[in-house]
Chain A
Amino acid sequence: GENVEQHPSTLSVQEGDSAVIKCTYSDSASNYFPWYKQELGKRPQLIIDIRSNVGEKKDQRIAVTLNKTAKHFSLHITETQPEDSAVYFCAATYNDMRFGAGTRLTVKP
């Protein structure tokens, strides 16, 4: 089955800096790659997703890139703000959705 690895497990940045989180997946058939943000004690919330026929997608300060050949995809957050602090999960889907272990992002004011 699909195996998703996510790095780093923790990331600390200064407010205004950029943050990058990287994921790799194993099943070349996976065709949908969402990113979820989860604040402490809250439900995961979709922040951006990308489908396999697209290499990059951007939504304001958030962008995701996908390299299908290398089987990796990344989340980029620019101009980080303290409210971006949370745990971020990547996922890859073919038949069912498999999640990475998460990245705890801390944005220091």
Chain B
Amino acid sequence: GAGVSQTPSNKVTEKGKYVELRCDPISGHTALYWYRQSLGQGPEFLIYFQGTGAADDSGLPNDRFFAVRPEGSVSTLKIQRTERGDSAVYLCASSANGGATDTQYFGPGTRLTVL
């Protein structure tokens, strides 16, 4: 079946604006993860959903970042009052059951540029 998809693939915005990034997980996967990858670095954990609820949001850097998954499938990462330091590739991943040893499958990412 289809893999994890993310839209848009690229997003350019101005400092102070609001952005939404969307993730469509693999069908049937209950767990969904958001990561941020800066240039030359590994993915940095942001938040993990099990079904509709955020099971672990300890990686969100501050209260400008928020994510939802209202129906337990598609998720949206929302960033308010964007700053230049938010520029990065935002990756989404999903896994079948969310167990610690479950394989996570990544989407292609959204490259966010804040001018």
Contacts and interface: CB of A to CB of B under 8 A. Distances in A.
Contacts of B43: 44, 89, 97, 99
Contact of B58 (A31, A96, A102): A96
Chain B contact surface mostly: loop
Nearest to B102: A32
B26 to A, nearest CB: 13
A45 B59 CA distance: 22
Given A51-B101, A96-B58, A96-B59, A43 B42 contact: no
Interface bin, chain B: 20 to 34
Nearest first, the 9 closest Cβ-Cβ pairs linking A and B are A99-B42, A32-B101, A43-B106, A44-B106, A96-B45, A43-B108, A89-B42, A99-B43, A93-B100
Interface of A: 1, 4, 6, 31-32, 34, 36, 42-46, 49, 51, 89, 91, 93-102
